[in-house]
Amino acid sequence: MIVRILGTGQFMMDDKLISKLNKIDNKIVGHVSKGDQGGFRKDIAEFISTIKKESEPLDPAEVIKSDIIVPPEDLSFEEAKRIFCGEGIIKD
């Protein structure tokens, strides 16, 4: 699975990691719906660091269609309200 972190690049991710990321994604949706900016910041950082630690970065010269697009860690809370709603960015 190919994941793009906006402003960072693309990563090749093992499909087994999707379950772990989905749990974090769901926590982020919960924080955003409750207006918990601190929880949102903590978990978006964890979400992105998990991808970076547990996936293989792709050559930036090679652009492949991404299966999941992740917003940057400095995403504003207002923008997060539009992105992390419903099922979040990972659809069950």
Adjacent-strand bridge partners of 10: 4
Give the residue-averaged pLDDT of 49-63: 95
At 27-48, the pLDDT tens digits run 999 999 999 999 999 999 999 9
**pLDDT for 2 beyond 70:** yes
**pLDDT for 56 beyond 70:** yes
- Token pair listed for 21: 């990321």
> Where do the structural domains in the chain lie, given as residue ranges?
2-83
